[in-house]
Amino acid sequence: MWFTRGSGWRTTCACIRADGYREAAEVAGLHAPHIINIPGSEERIVQAAGTAIAADTAIDGIICSNDWAALGVLF
């Protein structure tokens, strides 16, 4: 699956694009666009994620977590 990641506010976020997010969303029972807020993520980055999705239609969703390894459960 294709995704990019960045960090801010001591939180790691993954910007999920195209089919990669749709597959992850299907596993999670979600529908794009959607923000998956893993426990421990900070609300500020979740709000920024919403802004990013609105500004860039190529981004289907963003997963945020303080623990990058925790994101692996979706892949």
For residue range 11-61, what is the model confidence (pLDDT) as tens digits? 445 555 444 545 555 555 544 444 555 555 556 555 666 666 566 555 555
Whether residue 62 contacts residue 12, with contact meaning beta carbons closer than 8 Å, is answered with: no
pLDDT, greater one: 54 or 73:
54
Look at residue 49 in the predicted model and tell me its pLDDT.
61
HEC profile of the chain: CCEEEEEECCEEEEEEEHHHHHHHHHHHCCCCCEEEECCCCCHHHHHHHHHHHHHCCCEEEEEEECCHHHHHHHC
Q: Does the global pTM surpass 0.85?
A: no
Q: How many domains does the chain have?
A: 1
- Residue-range definition of the domain harbouring residue 56: 3-74
Look at residue 4 in the predicted model and tell me its pLDDT.
41
The residue behind tokens 């749709």 is 22
